[in-house]
Amino acid sequence: RARGGKRPVLMGHSFGCFACRWLLNEAPLAKALGGCVFLDPMVFLTPFPDISKRLQGPCETFYQFLVRRCIMREPSVAFALNRKSRWPKCCLWEEDLREIRRANPSIKFSVALSRRDCFFDTALVSAYLATFDFPAECFSQATYDCTHGEMIFNPNLLVGVVKHLNTVITP
């Protein structure tokens, strides 16, 4: 309830966006929210084979090696990626956002993508999001020239994250 807002705002990064999606699945909770910010979201186009293909390819950087060896082997992440969880409930489609907005017309969404993301094709997700027919005041997206997760650790990029948060908080 930052800056005098009357409704809470969700913010998720990467697989944390699954938790946002789970909360958005619950109608009473979704109606109570003021907005949701997705950073490097894994919830869009999850059924596409792109994520699995990228993780099976050779590592091009030490960062990719670290992510694949440490993060991707974390039990819950591996479980979700192997499609053994309730992953269809993790996916977020335009129709889902429309349904959430029908129940809560004041909710806003903002998406921040990393151009050099090692998990998914940012251009594909960005193109998909660009097809969303939502008023500009309730849906925004931006792509930053960084790797997956860098926007929450790099102070220069953190300013952009704050701007995304501000877009969903501002009435």
Per-residue H/E/C for the chain: CHHHCCCCEEEEECCHHHHHHHHHHCHHHHHHCCEEEEECCCCCCCCCCHHHHHHHCCCCCHHHHHHHHHHCCCHHHHHHHCCCCCHHHCCCCHHHHHHHHHHCCCCEEEEEEEEECCCCCHHHHHHHHHCCCCCCCCEEEEEEEEECCHHHHCHHHHHHHHHHHHHHHCC
Task: Pick one of 3.40.50.1820, 3.30.530.20, 3.30.70.1560, 3.40.50.2300 as the CATH number of 2-48+90-169.
Answer: 3.40.50.1820
pLDDT tens digits, residue range 139-165?
Answer: 999 999 998 889 999 999 999 999 999
What is the pLDDT at residue 45?
Answer: 78
What is the pLDDT at residue 83?
Answer: 57
What is the pLDDT at residue 37?
Answer: 97
Give the count of alpha carbons within 13 A of 3, CB side only. Answer: 10
Q: What is the pTM of this model?
A: 0.85
